[in-house]
Structure 1
Amino acid sequence: MGHLITVATCSLNQWALDFKGNLARTLESIRIAKERGATLRIGPELEITGYGCADHFLEGDTYLHSWEVLGQILSSKEAEGMLLDIGMPVMHKNVKYNCRIIILNSKILLIRPKMFLANDGNYRELRWFTPWSKYRVTEEHFLPRMIQKITGQITVPIGDAVISTHDSCIGVEMCEELFTPNSPHIGLSLDGVEIITNSSGSHHELRKLHTRVELIKEATLKSGGIYLYANQQGCDGDRLYYDGCAMIIVNGQVVAQGSQFSIGDVEVITATIDLEDVRSFRSSCSRGIQASTSASFRRIEANIALSDGRLEDNPAIRPTTVKRVFYHTPEEEISLGPACWLWDYLRRSKTSGFFLPLSGGIDSCATATIVASMCRLVVKSCAKGDKQTIADARQVTGESAESGYIPTDPQEFASRIFHTCYMGTKNSSNETRTRAKELAESIGSYHIDLNMDTVVSALQLLFAMVTGKTPAFRAHGGSDVENLALQNIQARIRMVLAYLLAQLLPWVRGRPGSLLVLGSANVDECLRGYFTKYDCSSADINPIGGISKADLRLFIAYAELAFGMPILSSFLNATPTAELEPITETYVQADEVDMGMTYDELTEFGRLRKVYKCGPYSMFTKLIHLWSDKMEVAEIAVKVKRFFFYYSINRHKMTTLTPSYHAESYSPDDNRFDLRPFLYNASWSWQFDKIDRTVQVLEKEQQTGEAHS
């Protein structure tokens, strides 16, 4: 037998500034890890405060309460006899750092600050923290007096160092540091560090997990070693969903993997590993030459042996076997991620449920189906006996603990917390009305079917009385301006009605509280600005605002079979339409015709604009190659110019976007993810002129080539 150790990592559903709840979840994870025989446990990034505190990291109170919580961990029985890696912010010499606190038996061994900060996309760590740039250097940090009384220490090391136990060596790599070209794990591994911990606050995006997992595997595939990855899991109070998936990797192979999506608050994974496997893996001559010349880290001694002689003397105990990494399909990710996010938002906002305007189209259908998925997850968790989920379900439904209520049927639970309404007008069709009604019945929501023509007519009459003019639809001889204004009246009235119903429907049903209004505008419509400002796309939260139309269709096709909802097929076959204009024998409003581009084209525009950082001209040149088999160069130019024109004149709408679940890399979410102006020169004269000149050159070359052939 070799040197067997049991280690633990976890995913915690922490909540920004919920110090009491965060402490309880941290202690529970430590308790579970110890119960399973682990001698080393790591937690997510900034687990004491929650990762998403944002500008609260600039406040002294956040640092004070962090130390108070750490004091309780240091004093707890759960923390005895284990090496613990805890995350919190620390102020050192008046500089704020994002840190890991390594503790053992009521002592702080090391404060390790983050050296490379995440500062793009959704992350703004440089706004709140300073990176530790003194590589392989430590200083002495003076502890607060409250901590000195607990630990008996006045100062502790802070900086870039490692922990040396009686039988191994442990180093820290934090979140963004894994993604950088010159990652710390390389130097750590060459200096003999056998166990590397990585505590993260990494959010979910569709199809993103594979990249993260491959980087984690690569960290030890070349260098050897044990890699413990911990992550936040859940909604931390913002648009992001942190998707867990805690992992333990040995020499490039996964031996333990946690769930990516869960409504549970605490998930701990453990593995038993033979240290000798690391040592034999590192036996190559080339590595030895590099390691012998590698600069050394300061080693902080920890009076503990991670290996347990009882494991080594028991031949029945074996190292954890290698596992195949599990990935959800994008359709499954949509069914799970936004559903978990909705549940966190619902239970933590102390509201009584959701309200959704059901249009009979695929977007609101997708939003409703995600709520149905959430109900399924709640019932499943309750069936497993999760006490927190049961307590939350009772709180949301207004049931007391004495009632003994436990959700056992998703439709029954939906009937209590989910409210839908079809807000029809004379421009609505029987098909959309019927689809909305049948979908509500399939999910179990409390559904209302109404016509709001009288309200629309009242507003039109008021306008006519004030101005002496009566606007008309284009179909009735009106101008484009009149036509658009009459559409917007209907759309904005739906928003007003939605909030009225959300506030009063619980009262109507004899229940306390109010409802959260759900939006259902997809990411492509937001990018194009194809919605009315302050219409029913304006809501409290939007679970599909970061998901493309194409992915929503894939999700609905998946849910039809996975959830046993045959009604969903009728939504897949329906033409997307806003139904805001009169239907005539020769005209039925259709979204893609209105927009002058397809949803698939919008997705391509969005990725090129945001992910590939293309302006009009570079987007045009890329699309020449991507779309050359589908359309002529001149048509590509027209589509690119049309997209940038409508994108720029509608960019102001992004400032009022409903907070949406972040799922897509080209989300146009203003001021949080997509930092671009909202007042543009929509003529793009210089850029468009260059596109036109290029079209002329390419067409001339094509004509010359055809003549020669």
Structure 2
Amino acid sequence: MKDGFLKAAALSPALRVADCAYNVRQITDALHKAAARGVKLAVFPEFCLTGYTCGDLFLQRTLQTGALDALSTLLDETKALDVVTLVGLPLLVHGKLYNCAAVLCHGRILGLVPKTYLPNYGEFYEKRQFTPGSTEVELVEVCGQQVPFGTSLLFRCRQMPSFVLGVEICEDLWSALPPSTFHALAGATVIANLSASDETVGKAEYRRALVSNQSARLLCGYLYASAGHGESTQDMVFAGHDLIAENGTILAENAPFDGGCAETEIDCQRMEAERARNTSFELSGEGYQTVEFDLEPAETTLTRWIDPAPFVPGDPKRRAERCELILKMQADGLAKRLEHAHAKTAVIGISGGLDSCLALLVAVRAMKQLGRPARDVLAVTMPCFGTTKRTRSNAEILCDELQVSFKEIDIANTVHSHFADIGQDESVLDVTFENGQARVRTLELMDTANRTGGLVVGTGDLSELALGWATYNGDHMSMYGVNAGVPKTLVRHLVRYEADIAATDALRTVLLDILDTPVSPELLPAKDGEIAQKTEDLVGPYELHDFYLYQVLRFGFGPAKIFRLAKAAFAGRPEYPDSVLYKWLRNFYWRFFAQQFKRSCLPDGPKVGSVTLSPRGDWRMPSDACAALWLAELEQLQIKD
């Protein structure tokens, strides 16, 4: 439960039709095992106490009483269990029969939620026996307890206020306006669905899409527990297809006919964060009654997969599709800007590194989109004190293969003159020594663009902007920054994708060598012809910083939770012990706050993903904000190697 994680399970034990005593034993056994695994929310299928396929037996008082006896037995069994449990049963209220979900905790019935939409088509005929539930909440006596009964019920955990439970039953989800929509707008962060969805060809895919899309639309966690083995097969079969989704992603699934359960952790804090940033998600709890309950706070062991590369799809096919889409977005943005500015050239400072390589590839695509020749792209290489033969050679080969215009400007003399002007001792390899070169390069590019009637295409990426790894009014500045929305971990895959689809072997070879070249601004003198200044040695591994960046900007998580997520995401990586994760997380926060002034005046550039740092778009932050609270939270962590 710490950090908003809720261990949840959707379970489908094997049952017997109309054998309530047997069924409750099966449910109890599954529940005890789930509790032993740390499950705090256990959802069982629709009519699990009786079986869904009882037909007109539901109208028999004996079966109704048997279901209540089974519920009473389950209440006794749950007194000592720290689990919120949901089971389905028929319930007679005021002479009418309802299809209900009973919500139990510590031997208490928290509420009874009747089904809203009763299917009466195809193989279903629920209106023959049951009455639709009402939104009006009233008290009814069940198993000797006064219990709220109605569809407008929510259940909130006192110890974890981000865990608010709403309940719907099977067909409710398949309707045009599911009750879960109203539950979520009233504050439910987790929806439980007790279902008895029979299996037919193609239905599993549709069911999966329903659950996934509803969790995305409602910004919630969604548990779907479906009836399985043991139901009557007279006319239907039931597959026990259990699903748990979170904001559009299926976190856990028990495939049809596999038996067992779906179990994982739902991040309730993430749901709160999603809703806080989504202003079109307007809460409205009118008519709802909230029942509070207690769970013992506990450290939830994370078993869900935490993606160490959240910006990069793991599946190769999806990754290739994503790369092509992003390149098209970047190229379209640049094409529009070139067209609007009537620019004769697109001027790019080409270094032989990853970022300038990507910008050049995008510029060539943009010219092609405009029906213009690649030679309208002017690539300028500006060797100085730190330039190596490898990067210089790769820059030339790349430009030749892409058939763009190429120009070399050796800036060493200009830099010498500039250092003399300001009194810089060239033997002192300080920030002035480095930034002086970067600003001269920008000066050359800007004036070259003016002379050729063009505009300067920026090369800096999202990760560099987050860390402030850019020289203010140097490589920080351009007339259009095509890479501003692309994190460094994704830059690599975009260049790799271009290598995979390269028109010539020579182009593929040079792109692969650029990928293998250490990331460097090359502002310090080379050592024995090799790069002396490796960025990741100075600011930290970009795969860590991109992970931190995603969690900070996308969800607003605090340092302690991000550190916990990082430990799970990078578990098994010996190069990332806790001390290293902590070191670079602290470095991330320090740099992120200290360097906002650079992001406050960024050039235009296209947004390509859910995380961006444009001061005109997704990120508004004062340049002089303090990092003290975030760093203080980090100081409270106990770090072990």
What is the TM-score when the length of structure 2 is the normalising length? 0.48
Larger Rg belongs to: 2
What is the TM-score when the length of structure 1 is the normalising length? 0.44
